[in-house]
Amino acid sequence: MALESNSSTNTTKNRIYREQLITMEDLNEFRTLLLNDLKGIIQSKPLQQKQWLKSNEVRKLLNISPGTLQNLRINGTLTYTKIGGIMYYDHTDIEKLLNGNKVNALPTLFK
């Protein structure tokens, strides 16, 4: 008799009620909430850029040759830090260089 009462309690534990079923509407609502949360997280954290770039990264970024980068260093156009044999360039200095040499377009060219 103890076995019968024990098996009946197991079936009540495993019984799924109608309120516990997940519907397609529930899944769609969960998906929408999850996507909104992920969008909020992505938009709140701007992409982190490396502060210090090596020479090859700067050359790829600016699409310049090693000689041109060397000229920018020699004439003081672009500041750098040398540690050992590796030269590092501050990303903000590169942005300042680009913004400082920006040439505005003439409005008459596009009419």
Cα–Cα distance, 83 to 70 (Å, whole number): 16
Six token digits for residue 5: 């009462």
Give this prediction's pTM: 0.53
The encoded tokens of residue 42 equal: 């992505």
Q: In tens digits, what is the pLDDT along the chain, a chain of 111 residues? A: 444 455 555 556 778 787 778 888 999 999 999 999 988 888 876 666 788 999 999 999 999 999 999 999 999 999 999 999 999 999 999 999 988 888 887 777 666
Question: Which single residue is written with the structure tokens 């360039």?
Answer: 89
